[in-house]
Amino acid sequence: MARTSSNMIPLGTSLPAFDLSVVADPSSSFFEKTDGLTRISNKDVRDKPVLFMFLSFHCPFVKHIQKGLSSLDKDYGERINMIAISSNSLITHPQDGPENLILQASENGWRFPYLLDPDQSFAKSLKAACTPDFFLFSNLENEQQNLLYRGQLDGSRPGNEIPVTGNDLRAALNAVLEGTAVPSPQKPSIGCNIKWHPGKEPAWFG
């Protein structure tokens, strides 16, 4: 398994503009229909903190934490906007296409939406590097969502025998919901590198 770490962009970074199609489980009330497709954009996530989770269907690091994400969804899904995103190239990894994302969401009982980032622009705007990679934004006395946490779910990895608890991310979520400081230091996630379109790899890749 290739091991890649989060880029850990600066805290306080503003949420970049995005407008992406939902491919799995559009069950929440903040979705609208656009040209026959269900989409989510910045204006849809201003009401609550928003957690972006860069995932994929095939990655063993993601498979390792799937039940942990289900537990996170159960405990926090009503209080924050949880959003999964697949940015892997479907040119090189067609197994990460919509059909398998729908299957993955269904098998794990996820209630949060799964978005497709086909041109990989949103992943690049956050310098997302791996799957899984987590980014938590919340507004600080204004309408702009700012980055308060980025990094790992917890210290569990395939084969290291540490249980999946979600402790790192849960501590950040609790702090944001309670209006207190997010604990530090924040540790990078480790996973499979995002599979970039051939010839369109970002400058930091490799």
Q: Cβ distance 164 to 67 under 8 Å?
A: yes
Q: Which helix (H) or strand (E) holds 34?
A: strand 32-34
- Structural domain for 129, as ranges: 4-193
The answer as to whether 206 is a domain residue is: no
Domain count, the chain: 1
The answer as to whether 204 is a domain residue is: no
> In whole angstroms, what is the distance from residue 155 CA to residue 137 CA?
21
Q: Which residue has the higher pLDDT, 1 or 157?
A: 157
The answer as to whether 205 is a domain residue is: no
Task: For 106-119, write each residue's pLDDT tens digit.
Answer: 999 999 999 999 99
Residue 25 clears pLDDT 60, i.e. is over it: no
The answer as to whether 202 is a domain residue is: no
Q: How confident is the model at residue 20 (pLDDT cuts 50, 70, 90)?
A: very high
Average pLDDT, the chain: 91
User: What's residue 6's pLDDT?
Assistant: 96
Kindly report whether the global pTM for this prediction surpasses the value 0.85: yes
CATH at residue 106: 3.40.30.10
Q: Cβ distance 57 to 24 under 8 Å?
A: no
The answer as to whether 201 is a domain residue is: no
Residue 29 clears pLDDT 70, i.e. is over it: no
The answer as to whether 200 is a domain residue is: no
Q: How confident is the model at residue 37 (pLDDT cuts 50, 70, 90)?
A: low
User: What's residue 36's pLDDT?
Assistant: 46
The answer as to whether 48 is a domain residue is: yes
> In whole angstroms, what is the distance from residue 100 CA to residue 66 CA?
14
The answer as to whether 58 is a domain residue is: yes
